[in-house]
Amino acid sequence: MHHANRPTRIQREDRIVAEVEAARDEIVAFTAEMIRIPTVNPPGECYRDCAELVGRRLRATGLAMEYVEAEGRPEHTAQHPRVNVVGRGPAVPGRPRLHLNGHFDVVPPGDGWTVDPFAGLVRDGRIYGRGASDMKSGISAAVFAVEALRRAGVGLAGAVDISATVDEESGGFAGVAHLCEAGIISSDHTSYAIIPEPFGPTRVCLGHRGVYWFDVVAHGHTAHGSMSHLGRSAIEDMGALLEAFRTGLIPELATRISTLPIVPEPSRRPSLNVNAITGGQAGEGTQSPCVADRCVATVDRRFIPEEPFEDVRAEITRLVRSVEGADPGRRFTIEERMVVHPTSAPRGSPLVAALSHAVEAVRGHPATLVASPGTYDQKHFDRIAGIQHCVAYGPGPLEEAHQPDESCSIDDLLASTQVLALAALELVGPA
């Protein structure tokens, strides 16, 4: 059927872009208001306040709003409740649904700030504060993308849902993982997901590498330090293992490379970092002369999609056993802390195409496809909710995440909001 007065695609896009521009001050004010709530994780401060701030905004946008607490999770306590907020668009059976998700927890501010990290200062075209980049600007972009569609009077064939969640910085178990396990985010009703993490207004992030995080424990035998030949030093045994990492495994990992466009470029290769070594007596306080009977190395192995996790694990076990076997009496055990599998949206995904078209429409040049060296909530969308068509796209310089004087350019925030709105329209379709 042909409607004579139906706007053309270009007219519709122009109207949406203009509505975002007209909302500039509101978008900045809302972002600054979120930054002023110090949602520091750990321990998870002020989550309810921030969830309610976002919730009021989602309701004003016309979404059906619900607070979801992470009942049953040990970190959900009376003192630090884990409160997520979800806004749902109308039910449209058989039509595509898009989910926009951002985390509102932030890492502690740390030292080195020249501005108040929780003042939401706006200066010279930038918003400053902890979370300005990672990722309260991203939540603002998601919310105002949907609001701009509404203000432009653009009806949607499908629907867009928005969630703002907790604890991404500590693994996302009470946040996105909880919503996925509860079926609130699920491939049963949702085809696409975009996480506005700070990759900047022209980069689409396809996914992330994997993490294998484990402790190796060296077990020695204590003795008087003056007769150390009667003991077995766990620290010396650990030294042998560290040397094997340095001369054997680490150079071997440097020969592998991923086809995923991971940035920065050196992260296209897998890596192994020893995050911590603890052994013998605590460094502070009075020392007694003893041979160390225990030494622990906490190891952070980042792996690429080309490395199956079972191979990654077997390679570590083999190396540890071979160092152990090189000296009778040497003994190591491995204790796993965490495994995160790599994830990546399919290359030909309509989601990637829609974001690329929208970046081109707003910025005049195509998007750059990248992948992340570190993980974020995409793993839960993929592995728990079964939504493979998930990417990260959002405002803010990645380099400023977790840094002092974190900030986001207001122009970039607006451009990303426009891109999200246009991409959402392409994905769920005009009514």
Interface with Zn ion (CB under 5 A): 134-135, 197
Tokens of 41: 């994780």
Instruction: Quote the least distance from Cβ 56 to Zn ion, whole Å.
Output: 23
CB of 138 to Zn ion, least distance (A): 8
Residue 342: C-alpha distances to residues 62, 245, 258, 304, 387 (Å):
36, 23, 11, 7, 14
Which CA distances in Å does 157 have to 154, 160, 430?
10, 10, 5
SS3 of residue 16 by DSSP: helix
Q: How far is the CB of 352 from Zn ion (least distance, A)?
A: 20
CB of 338 to Zn ion, least distance (A): 17
Question: CB-based contacts of 429: which residues, under 8 Å, 6+ apart?
Answer: 95, 96, 156, 157, 158
Q: Which is nearer to Zn ion, 122 or 392 (CB)?
A: 392
| Smallest gap from residue 405 Cβ to Zn ion (A) | 17
CB of 47 to Zn ion, least distance (A): 15
Which position's Cβ is nearest Zn ion? 134
- Which CB atom, from 134 or from 161, has the smaller least distance to Zn ion? 134
CA 117 vs. chain centroid, Å, equals: 21
Q: How many CB atoms lie within 10 A of CB 353?
A: 15
Rounded least distance, CB 197 to Zn ion, Å: 5
Q: Does 135 sit behind a cis peptide bond, omega within 30 degrees of 0 on the bond before it?
A: yes
Provide the token pair at 381.
């969308």
The residue type at 348 = G
Q: What is the nearest approach in angstroms of Zn ion to the Cβ of residue 376?
A: 6
CB of 40 to Zn ion, least distance (A): 14
Q: Which residue is it, tokens 């058989």? A: 94
**Closer residue to Zn ion in complex, CB, 35/291:** 35
Q: Which is nearer to Zn ion, 197 or 293 (CB)?
A: 197
* Cβ 258 to Zn ion shortest distance, Å: 22
Q: Which is nearer to Zn ion, 184 or 398 (CB)?
A: 398
* 89/138 with CB nearer Zn ion: 138
Query: Quick check: 178 and 164 in contact, CB under 8 A?
Result: no
Across the beta sheet with 210-219, the strand order is: 271-279, 294-303, 210-219, 332-340
- Closest to Zn ion by CB, 135 vs 361, is 135
Of 134 and 307, which CB lies nearer to Zn ion in the complex structure?
A: 134
Exposed, middle or buried, 236 (CB in 10 Å: 0-12/13-18/19+)?
middle
Looking at beta carbons only, is 135 or 194 nearer to Zn ion?
A: 135
- CB distance 192 to 378 below 8 Å: no
Q: How far is the CB of 176 from Zn ion (least distance, A)?
A: 11
Rounded to an integer, what is the distance from CA 310 to the centroid of its chain? 24
The 10 Å Cβ neighbour count of residue 265 is 10
HSE on the CB side for 380, CA within 13 Å?
24
Strand partners, 371: 262
Closer residue to Zn ion (CB): 134 or 426: 134
b/e for 128-163, b at 16 or more Cβ within 10 A? bbbbbbbbbbbbbbbbbbbbbbebbebebebbbbbb
The amino acid sitting at 178 is H
User: What is d(CA 254, CA 232) in angstroms, rounded to the nearest whole number?
Assistant: 33
> 134 vs 406, which CB is nearer to Zn ion?
134
